[in-house]
Amino acid sequence: MVIGGTAGAALRSPDDGHQPPATDEGSWLVRYCIFGDVHGNLEALETILADARRQETDRYVCVGDIVGYGANPSDCIDRIQRLTRQVVAGNHDCAVVGRTDIEYFNFFAREAVLWTQQQLTPEQSSYLRGLPLTLELDGMTVVHATVHQPSLFGYIESAMAARQSFDAMTSKLAFVGHSHVPVTFFYEDQGEEIWYSQDNEVPLGDFSKTIVNVGSVGQPRDDNPRAAYAVYDSEQRKVTIRRVEYDVEAARQKIIDAGLPEVLAARLLLGR
Ligand code: ZN
């Protein structure tokens, strides 16, 4: 991929405090890798991060749910801690450290929460405990579930829920996860209209506000087992949803070997 002025640029190190390279015009080139719902799936995480490097992303943002369901919660926390400080808490991250009730979790999710609690170091638990529910950075809002009620972990799955989140946004662009289904909602305040798109190429155009659900790295649920994440090019004002094949079989086998519910292994093959 060619980016203005820096075609063939070397890989940049992730979120390490260095400024991204400037274009010929002097504006900053920023290509974000925005990902979430990793759910302890290290194979999927490493694969999307390798793909993101090939896409020349230079900033990393996590929309939450590092843990829960998968067999490598500790490794996923370590990897993400080394990668970026821009991370929000998901409902599973909260559940594992008692920040939210697991009563409304289904049986399998609850089993995974209880198993995950045994895997984390005290430092990792306090890391999850300290994650914010929302982040505002570089003109975007980052939250796991909804902008209007971040601590309730509802879903943006209807025009009405989208409208509530649009009304709560102070930025023009928000990134969310939680449903494990990539989808983008657009809002035009002139006619008070809301659209959605499931295209993988999302030009942001002149919409008043946009909410992008980046899908799930570690447990996709749109009948597509490939790991999902987003590349956001802030200069071209474009979001691309990437789908990446990873070693599903290895992740599946680890879930079984760990003694986690087998349904959590089987669903990875199906992407649902
Ligand atoms: Zn999730």
Domain boundaries, the chain: 31-270
Q: What's the CA-to-centroid distance between 191 and ligand 1, angstroms?
A: 33
pLDDT digits (tens, 9 = 90+) for 183-242: 999 999 887 899 999 999 999 988 899 999 999 999 999 999 999 999 999 999 999 999
φ and ψ at residue 56, rounded to 5 degrees: 60, 40
In 3D space, the residue among 264, 216, 229, 226 whose CA is nearest the CA of residue 246 turns out to be 226
Residue 27: pLDDT over 90: no
Residue 157 — pLDDT band, cuts 50, 70, 90? confident
In sequence order, what are the residues at sequence separation of 6 or more whose Cβ sits closer than 8 angstroms to the Cβ of residue 7?
Answer: none
The protein residues having their C-beta less than 5 angstroms from ligand 1 (an ion) are: 37, 65
What does the block give as tokens for 243? Answer: 């789908």
Instruction: Quote the CA–CA distance of 166 and 184 in Å, as a whole number.
Output: 12
Q: What's the CA-to-centroid distance between 237 and ligand 1, angstroms?
A: 26
In 3D space, the residue among 177, 189, 163, 262 whose CA is nearest the CA of residue 215 turns out to be 177
pLDDT: which is higher, 180 or 29: 180
**Can you give the pLDDT at residue 100?**
93
Q: What's the CA-to-centroid distance between 148 and ligand 1, angstroms?
A: 18
Q: What's the CA-to-centroid distance between 20 and ligand 1, angstroms?
A: 30
**Can you give the pLDDT at residue 222?**
97
Q: What's the CA-to-centroid distance between 166 and ligand 1, angstroms?
A: 21
Q: What's the CA-to-centroid distance between 39 and ligand 1, angstroms?
A: 7
Q: What's the CA-to-centroid distance between 174 and ligand 1, angstroms?
A: 17
Residue 5 — pLDDT band, cuts 50, 70, 90? very low
Q: What's the CA-to-centroid distance between 92 and ligand 1, angstroms?
A: 7
User: Which helix (DSSP H) or strand (DSSP E) does residue 95 occupy?
Assistant: helix 91-96
Paired sense of beta strands 31-35 and 227-233, if any: antiparallel
Residue indicated by tokens 């370590």: 78
Query: ∠ CA(75), CA(90), CA(221), 5° rounding?
Result: 85
Mean pLDDT of 242-262: 98
Q: What's the CA-to-centroid distance between 180 and ligand 1, angstroms?
A: 6
Residue 244: pLDDT over 90: yes
pLDDT digits (tens, 9 = 90+) for 85-144: 999 999 999 999 999 989 889 999 999 999 999 999 999 999 999 999 999 999 999 999
Instruction: Quote the CA–CA distance of 123 and 140 in Å, as a whole number.
Output: 29
Average pLDDT along the chain = 90
DSSP 216-265: -SSS--SS--SEEEEEEETTTTEEEEEEE---HHHHHHHHHHTT--HHHH
Residue indicated by tokens 């999710």: 109
CATH topology of domain 31-270: Purple Acid Phosphatase; chain A, domain 2 (3.60.21)
Q: What's the CA-to-centroid distance between 165 and ligand 1, angstroms?
A: 19
